[in-house]
Amino acid sequence: MTAVLTAEAVRVGPDLEAWLAVGGGGGLRRALAEPEAIIPVIEAAGLRGLGGAGFPTHRKWAAVAAQPRPAKGGKWVICNGNEDEPGTFKDRFLLSETPHQVIEGALIGALAVGASTIVLYVNPREAAAVRVLKQAAQAWAKHSLLAECAAFLGSPLRLDVVEGSGLYVGGEETAAVASVMGGFPFPSLKPPFPAEAGVNGAPTLLNNVETFAHVPHILREGAEWYRALGLGAAVGTKLYSLSGDVLRPGLHEMPMGTSLRQLVFAHGGGMLAQKAFKAVFTGGPSNTLLTAADLDVALDFDSLRERGSRLGTGAMIVVGEGTSILRKTAEYVAFFAANSCGQCPPCKIGTHQVARILERIENGAGRPGDLEALENLSKMLPGSGRCGLLDGAATVLSSSLHAFRAEYEAALARQSSGQVNLGAA
């Protein structure tokens, strides 16, 4: 067990002095000492966006840093803690148990890009995280380290906790920007990316809570140390949110690139009730399902992409024999339909239609032709929304339909014309 973000020592809650006592602040001091080294160190460490995209962090930082500083208001940093997707529960842990490493990471980010406002953007439904984060932010505001940062930047540095809308779509980066500006979290077309024109048109650096949490450790311990934490070509550690039909669900911090088998059978305690392993919904859950053939795949961005899937947020929803893929898919598509912001007609109507068809199959009222309709929709819909929500819903639908078509057919057969189901349970 390689615990960096979740190590017992760093779980200090809102107590800033306790964080500084276990080596906190070291990364920030190094950043203040050699500010020009921040982005190169991040680049050397190979840190990537851990909110799901896996985009190289240093490129984002360099892009914001390269933008001219607006005359009024300065640049912005948003620490994205909107986390609301089914099966993901890492950010709420980091924010409520170890908020200071996240804040320190965001401060280092602000130094690197020259921002004068940091927004800690959180899901208001995570009441504990909001409470702890507010206390933690207040502790920083009074501390001399923050004043040192402001002195370095040559302008006051604000550290705000902003409660988002509590809507899933608010986690999308342009939606987060809209939300921070006080509006409804409508995603917008990219480009322009927030790095060019974010909050109030100012260049804005936006990273996930987990990404920022790694930053102080990287600056303090060095890029080499961070790279060595990963397995194979992957670097660092990753928080996997393990749930579903395993004996020990929960948050597991493991080397990036740990195999699915290792995660489920060694750390997760194996399958619940010794049921056979069937599949895993990863990330959003908006990605291609992993099946038994993928048990030995390394859980990192590149290995999963090669398999045609994605790591996403690191959520692993394990499905065993006895749990219905159809019901899970219907649940997730219904989630996406309920959380479509409604801007793009194909998304608003498409997710709703898919959810409706899945619901009727699930509830014993499916019709002949429903599976073909689902297949058509899953081919037709992707790419027609401003953000990835619609694509995610279509991906999870088409991959579950592709890999587990028999389950869909069995559910349809079970209900046809009130026929008696003799024998099979």
Partner 1 sequence: MTAGIPLAQALANWRACAPAEPRPCGLPVAELLRGFHPDQRPGAMVPLLVGISAGQRAPAELAALLQADSLVDDIDLAGAPLLEADVLVIGGGGAGCVAALTAARAGARVLLVTKLRIGDSNTVMAEGGIQAAVGEDDSLQRHFEDTLRAGHFLADKSLVAALVSDGPAAIRWLIQEGMSFDLADEGRRMGGTLLRKKPGGASAARLLSYRDFTGLELMRALREAVLLQPGITLLDRHPALELLSDDRGRCAGAALHDLARGRTVLARAGATVLATGGSGRLHLLGFPTSNHYGATADGLVLAYRLGAPLREVDSFQFHPTGMAWPGHLEGQLVSESARSSGAMLVNGLGQRFVEELQPRDVVAAAILREIAEGRGILRDGRAGVFLDTPTLERGKPGILAGSLVTLSHLAHRAGIDPASEPFLIRPTLHYQNGGLVIDPAGRTPVPGLLAAGEVTGGLHGSNRMMGNALLELVAFGRRAGEAAILDARVERPRNVGLTHLADWRRALTVQGLPLSRKAPMIFPPYGNFNAATDRGKAA
Binding region for partner 1 (CB under 8 A):
244-245, 247-248, 272-274, 322-324, 326-327, 331, 361-366, 407, 410-415, 418, 420-425
Give the residue from 145, 143, 116, 131 showing the smallest Cα distance to 31.
145
Alpha carbon 49 to its chain centroid, in Å, reads 9
Query: C-beta of 21: minimal distance to partner 1 in Å?
Result: 36
User: Smallest distance from the beta carbon of 168 to partner 1, in angstroms?
Assistant: 14
Give me Rg for the CA atoms of the chain: 22
Least separation in angstroms between CB 406 and partner 1: 12
180: its two tokens: 């921070």
Rounded distance between C-alpha atoms, residue 393 and residue 74, angstroms: 37
Minimum gap (Å) between residue 166 Cβ and partner 1: 15
- How far apart, in whole angstroms, are the C-alpha atoms of residue 401 and residue 118? 43
**In the complex, minimum distance from the CB of residue 422 to partner 1, in angstroms, rounded to a whole number:** 6
Which residue lies nearer to partner 1 by CB, 186 or 277?
277
Q: Which residue lies nearer to partner 1 by CB, 172 or 245?
A: 245
Instruction: Choose between 47 and 246: whose C-beta lies nearer to partner 1.
Output: 246
Tell which residue, 276, 393, 245, 277, has the closest CA to residue 330. Answer: 393
ω into 14 cis (within 30 of 0): no
Exposed/middle/buried for residue 176 (C-beta within 10 Å: 0-12, 13-18, 19+): buried
Pick 158 or 360: Cβ nearer partner 1: 360
Query: Which among 52, 29, 30, 26 has a CA at the least distance from the CA of 40?
Result: 30
Give the shortest CB-375-to-partner 1 separation in angstroms.
18
Residue (101 or 329) nearer to partner 1, CB: 329
Specify the residue, 300 or 362, whose C-beta has the smaller distance to partner 1. Answer: 362
DSSP β-bridge partners for residue 254: 238
Bridge partner list, 79: 120, 207
